[in-house]
């Protein structure tokens, strides 16, 4: 099983040991041989803050590899999808039970619970950013030598 997530990116900014790296996030369609005729492929650019813990020398505009753990990816999925789904469903069913089937009120309470959840996640963003850390793995030209 793969224990690391690895992306190729371009250094956009350097501030001490923290880099801002632009990575291209692609969908599975990009590996397809008929993607030029399909028009469904999805490509997004993301800016990611990366720690240069090993002090690898690099410059702005240089291509680098960044890594993160797969457990970090699983935690991100849990925080973004699993927990909100559980909050939505549990608040819906609990409110439906407490109001003896008032669907409109239950839907409103469920959506408000979801909004509260995302507000709490927003307030915890600094703490969460210390959990979701990408590190600089290597500079692309170093791998060629």
| Whole-number Å distance between alpha carbons of 73 and 142 | 27
Q: From its phi and psi, is residue 117 left (phi > 0), alpha (psi between -120 and 50) or beta? A: alpha
Measure Cα distances from 80 to 14, 74, 84, 114 in Å. Answer: 28, 10, 7, 11
pLDDT of residue 129: 81
The whole-angstrom distance between residue 68's C-alpha and the CA centroid of its chain comes to 11
Tell me, what's the pLDDT at 114? 96
pLDDT in tens for each of the 145 residues of the chain? 567 888 889 999 998 888 899 988 766 565 666 666 565 556 678 888 888 888 888 889 999 988 888 888 889 899 999 999 999 999 999 999 999 999 999 999 999 999 999 999 999 988 988 888 888 887 765 554 4
* CA dihedral over 111, 117, 122, 123, signed as positive or negative: positive
């Amino acid at each position: 099983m793969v224990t690391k997530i690895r992306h190729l990116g371009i250094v956009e900014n350097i501030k001490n040991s923290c880099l801002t790296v632009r990575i291209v996030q692609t969908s599975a369609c990009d590996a397809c041989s008929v993607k030029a005729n399909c028009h469904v492929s999805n490509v997004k650019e993301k800016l990611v803050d990366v720690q240069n813990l090993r002090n690898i020398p690099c410059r702005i505009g240089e291509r680098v590899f960044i890594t993160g753990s797969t457990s970090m990816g699983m935690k991100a999925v849990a925080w973004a999808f699993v927990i909100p789904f559980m909050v939505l469903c549990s608040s819906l069913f609990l409110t439906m039970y407490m109001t003896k089937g008032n669907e409109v009120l239950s839907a409103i309470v469920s959506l408000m619970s979801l909004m509260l959840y995302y507000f709490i996640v927003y307030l915890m963003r600094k703490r969460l950013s210390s959990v979701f850390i990408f590190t600089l793995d290597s500079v692309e030209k170093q791998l060629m030598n």
